[in-house]
Amino acid sequence: MDSRRHKEDSDGVDAALDFVRFCHRRRRVGWPELYDEMCRVASRGLYHGWGFGELAEHGIAFGLVEMPRLAGLVANVLSQDAERRPRMLIGVMASGPVLSDVAEETPDLPVRARAFVGAAR
Protein backbone atom coordinates (compact mmCIF):
# COMPACT_ATOMS: atom_id res chain seq x y z
CA MET A 1 0.00 0.00 0.00
CA ASP A 2 1.25 3.48 -0.82
CA SER A 3 2.17 5.34 2.38
CA ARG A 4 0.94 8.65 0.91
CA ARG A 5 -2.47 7.10 0.29
CA HIS A 6 -2.62 5.77 3.86
CA LYS A 7 -1.72 9.24 5.21
CA GLU A 8 -4.48 10.86 3.13
CA ASP A 9 -7.01 8.27 4.31
CA SER A 10 -6.12 8.78 7.97
CA ASP A 11 -6.25 12.57 7.55
CA GLY A 12 -9.74 12.22 6.08
CA VAL A 13 -10.88 10.08 8.99
CA ASP A 14 -9.35 12.51 11.49
CA ALA A 15 -11.05 15.46 9.80
CA ALA A 16 -14.35 13.59 9.75
CA LEU A 17 -14.09 12.74 13.45
CA ASP A 18 -13.12 16.33 14.26
CA PHE A 19 -16.16 17.59 12.35
CA VAL A 20 -18.47 15.28 14.29
CA ARG A 21 -16.81 16.35 17.59
CA PHE A 22 -17.26 20.00 16.63
CA CYS A 23 -20.96 19.48 15.95
CA HIS A 24 -21.43 17.44 19.12
CA ARG A 25 -19.82 20.17 21.23
CA ARG A 26 -22.16 22.72 19.71
CA ARG A 27 -25.20 20.65 20.55
CA ARG A 28 -24.84 17.70 22.92
CA VAL A 29 -27.37 15.34 21.40
CA GLY A 30 -27.24 11.86 19.94
CA TRP A 31 -28.18 10.38 16.60
CA PRO A 32 -30.37 11.46 14.66
CA GLU A 33 -30.53 14.96 16.18
CA LEU A 34 -26.78 15.29 15.70
CA TYR A 35 -27.30 14.61 11.98
CA ASP A 36 -29.52 17.72 11.85
CA GLU A 37 -26.83 19.77 13.59
CA MET A 38 -24.18 18.50 11.18
CA CYS A 39 -26.38 19.56 8.25
CA ARG A 40 -26.80 23.03 9.80
CA VAL A 41 -23.06 23.39 10.33
CA ALA A 42 -22.33 22.26 6.77
CA SER A 43 -24.94 24.54 5.20
CA ARG A 44 -23.49 27.56 7.02
CA GLY A 45 -19.83 26.58 6.62
CA LEU A 46 -19.25 26.86 10.36
CA TYR A 47 -16.50 24.23 10.49
CA HIS A 48 -13.35 25.70 8.88
CA GLY A 49 -15.59 27.34 6.26
CA TRP A 50 -16.34 23.91 4.78
CA GLY A 51 -19.63 23.32 3.02
CA PHE A 52 -21.07 20.04 1.80
CA GLY A 53 -18.49 19.70 -1.00
CA GLU A 54 -15.45 20.20 1.21
CA LEU A 55 -16.86 17.86 3.85
CA ALA A 56 -17.43 15.20 1.17
CA GLU A 57 -13.74 15.49 0.24
CA HIS A 58 -12.93 14.65 3.88
CA GLY A 59 -15.28 11.69 4.15
CA ILE A 60 -18.45 13.34 5.43
CA ALA A 61 -21.42 12.81 3.14
CA PHE A 62 -25.07 13.23 4.01
CA GLY A 63 -26.82 10.94 1.51
CA LEU A 64 -28.79 7.82 2.38
CA VAL A 65 -26.05 5.54 1.09
CA GLU A 66 -23.53 7.16 3.48
CA MET A 67 -25.81 7.06 6.55
CA PRO A 68 -24.35 3.88 8.10
CA ARG A 69 -20.80 5.26 7.89
CA LEU A 70 -21.86 8.62 9.30
CA ALA A 71 -23.81 6.97 12.12
CA GLY A 72 -20.71 4.89 12.88
CA LEU A 73 -18.57 8.03 13.11
CA VAL A 74 -21.10 9.57 15.48
CA ALA A 75 -21.17 6.43 17.64
CA ASN A 76 -17.36 6.46 17.74
CA VAL A 77 -17.23 10.12 18.84
CA LEU A 78 -19.96 9.68 21.45
CA SER A 79 -18.22 6.65 22.97
CA GLN A 80 -14.87 8.51 23.06
CA ASP A 81 -16.60 11.47 24.70
CA ALA A 82 -18.17 9.22 27.33
CA GLU A 83 -14.76 7.68 28.11
CA ARG A 84 -13.14 11.10 28.50
CA ARG A 85 -15.87 12.56 30.68
CA PRO A 86 -14.81 12.33 34.32
CA ARG A 87 -16.98 10.26 36.57
CA MET A 88 -18.38 12.40 39.33
CA LEU A 89 -20.16 11.36 42.46
CA ILE A 90 -22.23 14.04 44.05
CA GLY A 91 -23.48 13.62 47.58
CA VAL A 92 -26.48 15.55 48.79
CA MET A 93 -27.03 16.05 52.47
CA ALA A 94 -30.49 16.88 53.71
CA SER A 95 -30.72 19.66 56.25
CA GLY A 96 -34.28 18.76 57.18
CA PRO A 97 -35.97 15.52 58.23
CA VAL A 98 -35.12 12.33 56.37
CA LEU A 99 -37.71 11.35 53.77
CA SER A 100 -38.51 8.07 55.49
CA ASP A 101 -39.33 9.98 58.70
CA VAL A 102 -41.71 12.22 56.76
CA ALA A 103 -43.47 9.17 55.31
CA GLU A 104 -43.98 7.64 58.75
CA GLU A 105 -45.26 10.93 60.18
CA THR A 106 -47.78 11.44 57.38
CA PRO A 107 -49.64 8.18 56.74
CA ASP A 108 -52.16 9.95 54.50
CA LEU A 109 -49.58 10.46 51.71
CA PRO A 110 -50.73 9.12 48.34
CA VAL A 111 -49.48 5.64 47.48
CA ARG A 112 -47.17 7.01 44.78
CA ALA A 113 -45.49 9.43 47.19
CA ARG A 114 -45.08 6.70 49.80
CA ALA A 115 -43.39 4.43 47.21
CA PHE A 116 -41.02 7.22 46.23
CA VAL A 117 -40.19 8.05 49.82
CA GLY A 118 -39.76 4.36 50.67
CA ALA A 119 -37.27 3.99 47.82
CA ALA A 120 -35.06 6.62 49.45
CA ARG A 121 -34.43 4.47 52.54
pLDDT tens, position by position, for the chain (121 residues)? 444 443 444 455 788 999 999 999 999 888 889 999 999 999 999 999 999 999 999 989 999 999 999 999 999 988 887 776 665 555 555 555 555 555 566 556 555 444 444 444 4
pLDDT, position 64 = 92
Angle, helices 67-84/3-26, rounded to nearest 10 degrees: 70
pLDDT, position 35 = 93
pLDDT, position 3 = 40
- Integer Cα distance of 72 and 97 in angstroms: 49
Burial class of residue 90 (count of CB atoms within 10 Å of its CB; 0-12, 13-18, 19+): exposed
3-state secondary structure of 56: helix
